Structure 1
Amino acid sequence: MENIQQVKMDKGPRETLAMDPVKFILWLFLVSIIMLFASQTSAYLVRRAEGNWLEFEMPKIFWYSTGVLIASSLVMQYAYFAAKKDQFNQLKIAISITFALGLAFLWMQFEGWKQLVDMNVYFVGNPSGSFFYVFTGLHGFHIITGLIVLITALTAAFRLNIHSKNLRRIQICTTYWHFLDILWLYLFVFLLTFN
């Protein structure tokens, strides 16, 4: 009996699996966003199958905004690499460019809405237009939250609180921004395929 207790004591305390609580909250948030858009796209498909569906061509500006968002994701990844190498000026510039591209994306989405109105596709009316506005509006809202996260990262970068020994903030920011990019690509392809 003493030998068994001695062996247990020699192993030391058991290691627990730990995750950064902020990263854990981020992943829960991302899962909730996925569930939200999965439910919305499912509802879209069910409603479309019922008929009375207005088909319209997606304005070209949504193609351009997609390119802008992909570019912003590439620049955000560069910001992460700059932080890992303690390249503070490049880090600040890259976050600033990502922020500017995020604003450009939102502006292009708004312009796309104006073009939809010119095509007589409204939020109220045929469900196909309503769904389009809801999808792009919800995603736009999440882009705004991403811009807020970018501002906090940029502030931390100017205070030199992001560096190779403290990457948590830039990791969270990069993960969220890439997620928003992937989410938009999913919505974009979905709307192109099923509109």
Structure 2
Amino acid sequence: MKGSKTIIYVDMDHVLCDYEEAWARQKALFPDLEFPQSQPGMYIGMNPLPGAIDTYRWLNDHPNSDVYILTAPSVYNSHCYSEKRDWVEKYLGLSVVKNLIITPHKNLNEGHYLIDDMASGKGQDRFKGSLILFGSKKFPDWTSVHTFFEEALTPDGSSAKVGQWDSFFNSDVGVTEDFGLDQQDRDWLNMKPAGREIPD
């Protein structure tokens, strides 16, 4: 990928979308269901997280980047596939739908950066690029992500890691091998494990 644009993947649940708010609303509608997200309306009903749409559009319009949405499905729930697609069109437009990738194997996609709230569980720990752990101390929100990419997207379009980010991404200490090994489908268990912070 040397000399090409910087390829950035962006997760949906808990990153672009407010999954927790939507789940609580769905639970109120279907209080007797163990998995209320199995009913239609859950995924299309998610609101964007603060700053998500503006920052995605900024990244998408940046001349030095190619941006894709990379989200894992709840494989037991067929509604999530179509509703995630419709959510992207609703908030980001049909052109972005063409860059929507739905897969439980995120490591199969090649790129420079993955913005995700999970360090593992859907192949994030085997992604060959750099993980931007959304919700961590380094990247608590979209403002911090925007600030990072203002520096990382250098004028020549490279994905060079410069300045204060050198030590962060080039650290010898990473996510431990046991993290998330036996993780179940979070959509169905309504579990959001606390991500281990990658130290710098």
Q: Which has the higher strand share?
A: 2
Q: What is the TM-score normalised by the length of structure 2?
A: 0.27
Q: Which has the higher helix share?
A: 1
- Greater C-alpha Rg: 1
Compare relative contact order (CA 8 Å, sep 6+) and give the higher one, 1 or 2: 1
